[in-house]
């Protein structure tokens, strides 16, 4: 299954530089209607292999689109397509119709996450993909960037520097932040003798997404470290 998916995408890429190419017999299937997608997703979650395969087939465009965004990383498009296809299959296999998220959004995250994990594990050269590039918007209207796909693991936010050290630097550099950044970092790090809260708690308090809190935190920490260095 995986091999046939990859081969089909690669044949398509050889015939066209865009997934909107019309004159080829290898054109990728169009997106499903909302009703078709729901019915197939429901059947797939119940173990219907035919429904699962059709969902995969009609979402191949996402693999092409996302793989091409990472072409400047030093890897061949064939490698990126192969990894992205694994992410697509994982996404289709784990998607549930009762999830409060569209199938395309869910599998796109799975595809991107699979590619990003591959790039992190196999760093051929410094990845030039901008982690702050806006991809979409969350339910609250906040921008979602590539780094949001990586999750909200605090070990990533605070890599190579202890949280205590970061808090010390933050306190001294607080005035360089805007009001929202200042509030988020104060709550997260317990600055000015306030209580320290988790990302999830801060997100709930401010009525915004946890991924947005994570991104702001990463950006501020990165900026302060650059200033220190």
Residue 170 resides in a domain:
yes
DSSP string, 41-95: HHHHHTT-HHHHHHHHHTTHHHHHHHHHTTGGGSS-HHHHHHHHHHHHHHHHHH-
Which CATH number goes with the domain that contains 167? 1.10.10.10
Q: Are residues 101 and 210 in the same domain?
A: no
Q: Are residues 14 and 101 in the same domain?
A: yes
For residues 229 and 207, the model is more confident at: 207
Q: What is the mean pLDDT of residues 167-190?
A: 76
Count of domains forming the chain: 2
Residue 169 resides in a domain:
yes
Rounded Cα distance between 10 and 16, Å, is 10
Parent domain of 51: 2-129
Q: Are residues 30 and 89 in the same domain?
A: yes
Residue 148 resides in a domain:
no
pLDDT at 39: 94
Rounded Cα distance between 202 and 210, Å, is 8
Residue 94 confidence (pLDDT) above 80: yes
pLDDT at 36: 93
Strand (E) positions, the chain? 134-137, 143-145
Which CATH number goes with the domain that contains 78? 1.10.1740.10
pLDDT at 95: 92
Residue 16 confidence (pLDDT) above 70: no
Ranges 42-46, 50-54, 142-146: which has the least confidence: 142-146
Residue 135 resides in a domain:
no
pLDDT at 72: 81
For residues 66 and 221, the model is more confident at: 66
pLDDT at 194: 75
Q: What is the mean pLDDT of residues 201-211?
A: 85
pLDDT at 217: 85
Q: Are residues 111 and 162 in the same domain?
A: no
- Structure confidence by residue, pLDDT tens digits, 120-157: 887 644 444 444 454 444 444 555 554 444 444 443 33
Q: At which of 129, 144, 178 does a domain end?
A: 129
- Structure confidence by residue, pLDDT tens digits, 187-205: 888 877 778 888 888 888 8
pLDDT at 200: 87
Q: Are residues 106 and 39 in the same domain?
A: yes
- Stated pTM of the model: 0.49
Rounded Cα distance between 89 and 163, Å, is 37
Q: Are residues 190 and 92 in the same domain?
A: no
Rounded Cα distance between 15 and 73, Å, is 23
Q: Are residues 10 and 117 in the same domain?
A: yes
Residue 69 resides in a domain:
yes
Q: At which of 129, 162, 178 does a domain end?
A: 129
Count other C-beta atoms under 10 Å from residue 97's C-beta: 15
Residue 49 resides in a domain:
yes
Count other C-beta atoms under 10 Å from residue 107's C-beta: 26
Q: Are residues 65 and 32 in the same domain?
A: yes
Residue 183 confidence (pLDDT) above 90: no
Q: What is the mean pLDDT of residues 105-118?
A: 90
CB 48 within 8 A of CB 33: no
pLDDT at 13: 54
In eight-state DSSP terms, residue 142 is -
For residues 152 and 33, the model is more confident at: 33
Rounded Cα distance between 95 and 103, Å, is 7
Band of residue 51 on the pLDDT scale cut at 50, 70, 90: very high
Q: Are residues 162 and 123 in the same domain?
A: no
Residue 140 resides in a domain:
no
Ranges 89-103, 122-136, 182-196, 206-220: which has the least confidence: 122-136
Residue 136 resides in a domain:
no
Indicate the average pLDDT of the chain.
Answer: 73
Rounded Cα distance between 116 and 70, Å, is 9
Q: Are residues 81 and 22 in the same domain?
A: yes
Q: Are residues 97 and 173 in the same domain?
A: no
Rounded Cα distance between 229 and 226, Å, is 5
Integer angstrom CA distances of residue 198 from 21, 84, 94, 210, 219:
47, 32, 28, 10, 17
Q: Are residues 121 and 163 in the same domain?
A: no
């Amino acid at each position: 299954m995986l091999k046939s998916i990859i081969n089909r995408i690669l044949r398509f890429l050889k015939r066209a530089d865009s997934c909107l190419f019309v004159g080829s017999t290898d054109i990728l299937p169009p997106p499903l209607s909302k009703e078709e997608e729901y019915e197939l997703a429901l059947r797939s979650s119940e173990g219907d292999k035919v429904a699962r395969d059709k969902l995969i087939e009609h979402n191949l465009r996402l693999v092409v689109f996302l793989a091409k965004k990472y072409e400047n990383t030093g890897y061949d498009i064939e490698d990126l397509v192969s990894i992205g296809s694994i992410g697509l299959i994982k996404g289709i296999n784990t998607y549930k119709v009762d999830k409060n998220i569209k199938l395309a959004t869910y599998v796109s995250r799975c595809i991107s996450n699979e590619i990003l994990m591959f790039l992190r594990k196999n760093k051929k050269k410094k990845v030039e993909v901008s982690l702050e590039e806006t991809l979409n918007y969350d339910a609250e209207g906040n921008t979602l960037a590539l780094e949001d796909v990586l999750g909200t693991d605090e070990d990533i936010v605070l890599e190579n520097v202890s949280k205590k050290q970061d808090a010390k630097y933050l306190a001294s550099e607080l005035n360089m932040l805007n009001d929202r950044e200042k509030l988020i970092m104060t709550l997260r790090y317990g600055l000015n003798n306030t209580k320290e809260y988790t990302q999830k708690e801060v997100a709930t308090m401010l009525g915004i997404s946890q991924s947005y809190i994570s991104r702001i935190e990463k950006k501020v920490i990165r900026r302060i470290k650059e200033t220190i260095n």
